[in-house]
Amino acid sequence: MKEEKVDLLELEESNLIHFLLADSMDDFREIFMELHPYDQSIFFEKVEPELRQKIFHYLSPKEMAELFEATKFDEELYEFYLKEMDTTYAADMLSFMYADNAVDVLNELEDAQVASYLNIMDKESAQEIKDLLDYEEYTAGSIMTTEYVAIPENSTCRSAMTILRNAAPDAETIYYLFVVDESHRLAGVISLRDLIVADEDTLIKDIMNERVVSVLVNEDQEEVAKMIKDYDFLAVPVLDFENHLLGIVTVDDIIDVLDEEASDDYSKLAAVSDMDTFDKGPFSAARKRLPWLIILLFLGMMTANLMSIFEQTLDKVALLAVFIPLIAGMAGNSGTQALAVAVRGIATGDIEEQSKTKLLFREAGTGLITGLICGLLVIGVIYFWKHDLLIGMLVGAAIFGSIFFATLGGSFIPLLIHRMKIDPAVASGPFITTINDLISILIYLGLATLFISSL
């Protein structure tokens, strides 16, 4: 079934390209307008610039707006595609987009370009977009939409239905109707279902839910995403400090936020400042990766310098060098496991102030148990392999200590960084691993130097 769908899409794409080349606008529109906007956007990305020019001619700005809203292009492509369009056409397209989506596009452009488009747009659309552009990035205000349905609290259900019919074509969602007082302060919320089943003469304020979960306009977008996830909302109202309703954040915007935050955290855990895309060149990718790699290089030099301090110990018992990668690797692995648990707990909000101590005690206990078991296993393996119980006990003790401290450090460092109001994901996997290399080698070669006379 999936293969049939793919074949059908490929056939439609082939036909669409044929009609574009043949300058057959009617035939092109007949097929293209039946596609889902997401499929339209995929086709739009695939064709050559010359054919895209024809698509701009065949589609109205409103139809192009629906295509742009259906998917998230790579950041640099927004500017590229807008430059391909006539300036007036592009401005009209942006004005037909939901204000929050238009802001997402404009945020990728230079200030001069933004000003140019806003000057061409109709005043109402331009003002809505300007208001959203003024909010700090990554806050509720920056991702909210101003296209929502607001109902006066003294309305009857009959008049509310009239308001809904008029506002619905432009609203991003109509499943929640937000109730406001005369000063446009949020008074309550009513669902579309409750409005439909209520008596027409019933006052909205008599059936609305006054306990509304809301967010402030300066709330971090991650906190907004967590709230919508926890409450299973389709939308959440955004208020100023005087309880005025400014807009709403919808679940589709939150999906984008979650995807963006997950990519950001993953890139930081991989010690990459910004997640690479496959179409980036090697110089661009190298520029983003080099800062962390240089930091890790100097940390690695510290590890090398530490080993040189114990050079005499290694010279006397050369067998010790064989187990350095094993001990460092086990410390790095256990530290990264603890790091992943801590960062995820902080990101999801599962770790609160009262549970941080509990987490540290649990990870300390986990480190003790896993370190003890791995240490005993290594003692047995080295004894049967090298027939040297003392070396086995030394390596086993080093692994025990390294795993314990690495596990504890892997959970403590992100908690400490989070307390300092820094994103805990910056305590990246490679960073933790390198720090644990230092600690594990210090423990291993320190113990070896201490008991060198017995080896």
pLDDT 10s digits, 395-452: 999 999 999 998 988 888 888 877 777 666 655 566 777 788 888 888 888 888 887 7
- pLDDT (0 to 100) of residue 316: 66
The predicted structure's pLDDT at residue 141 = 92
| Average pLDDT of span 319-327 | 82
| 286 DSSP β-pair partners | none
Instruction: Outline which parts of the chain fall under CATH 1.25.60.10.
Output: 2-136
Nearest to 164 by CA among 177, 179, 180: 177
Please indicate whether residue 348 or residue 219 has the higher confidence score (pLDDT): 219
pLDDT above 60 for 270: no
**CATH number at 2-136:** 1.25.60.10
Q: Which residues of the chain does CATH 1.10.357.20 include?
A: 282-454
**CATH 3.10.580.10 residue window(s) in the chain:** 150-250
The pLDDT, as a whole number, for residue 386 is 80
Indicate the CATH number for domain 282-454: 1.10.357.20
pLDDT confidence of residue 62: 94
Whether the Cβ atoms of residue 141 and residue 246 lie closer than 8 Å to each other: yes
Write the class of the CATH domain 150-250.
Answer: alpha beta
Over the stretch 216-248, which tens digit does the pLDDT of each residue have?
999 998 889 888 888 888 999 999 999 999 999
C-alpha–C-alpha distance, residues 415 and 409, integer Å: 10
CB 99 within 8 A of CB 125: yes
By residue count, the chain amounts to 455
Sorted by sequence, the CB contacts under 8 Å of residue 86 that are 6+ apart come out as 56
Residue 330 has pLDDT above 70, yes or no: yes
Q: Please report the pLDDT score of residue 3 as a whole number.
A: 47
Q: What is the pLDDT of residue 420?
A: 76
In the structure, what pLDDT confidence band is assigned to residue 210 with cuts at 50, 70 and 90?
Answer: very high
pLDDT per residue as tens digits for the range 283-296: 766 776 676 667 76
Position 2 scores a pLDDT of 45
CB neighbour class for 364 (10 Å; exposed up to 12, middle 13-18, buried from 19): middle
443 phi and psi angles, rounded to 5 deg: -65, -50
Computed over its alpha carbons, how large is the radius of gyration of the chain? Answer: 30
Q: Which of 174-188, 263-277, 371-385, 391-405 has the lowest mean pLDDT?
A: 263-277
Provide mean pLDDT across the span 67-92.
88
Q: 402, 387, 396: which is closest to 438 by C-alpha?
A: 402
- What digits encode the pLDDT tens for the residues 353-394? 657 888 888 889 999 999 999 999 999 998 888 888 888 899
SS3 sequence of the chain: CHHHHHHHHHHHHHHHHHHHHCCCHHHHHHHHCCCCHHHHHHHHHHCCHHHHHHHHHHCCHHHHHHHHHCCCCCHHHHHHHHHHCCHHHHHHHHHHCCHHHHHHHHCCCCHHHHHHHHHHCCHHHHHHHHHHHCCCCCEHHHHCECCCCEEECCCEHHHHHHHHHHHCCCCCCCCEEEEECCCCEEEEEEEHHHHHHCCCCCEHHHHCECCCCCEECCCEHHHHHHHHHHHCCCEEEEECCCCEEEEEEEHHHHHHHHHHHHHHHHHHHCCCCCCCCCCCCHHHHHHHHHHHHHHHHHHHHHHHHHHHHCHHHHHHCHHHHHHHHHHHHHHHHHHHHHHHHHHHHHHHCCCCHHHHHHHHHHHHHHHHHHHHHHHHHHHHHHHHHHCCHHHHHHHHHHHHHHHHHHHHHHHHHHHHHHHCCCCHHHCCHHHHHHHHHHHHHHHHHHHHHHCHHHC
What rounded mean pLDDT belongs to the chain? 84
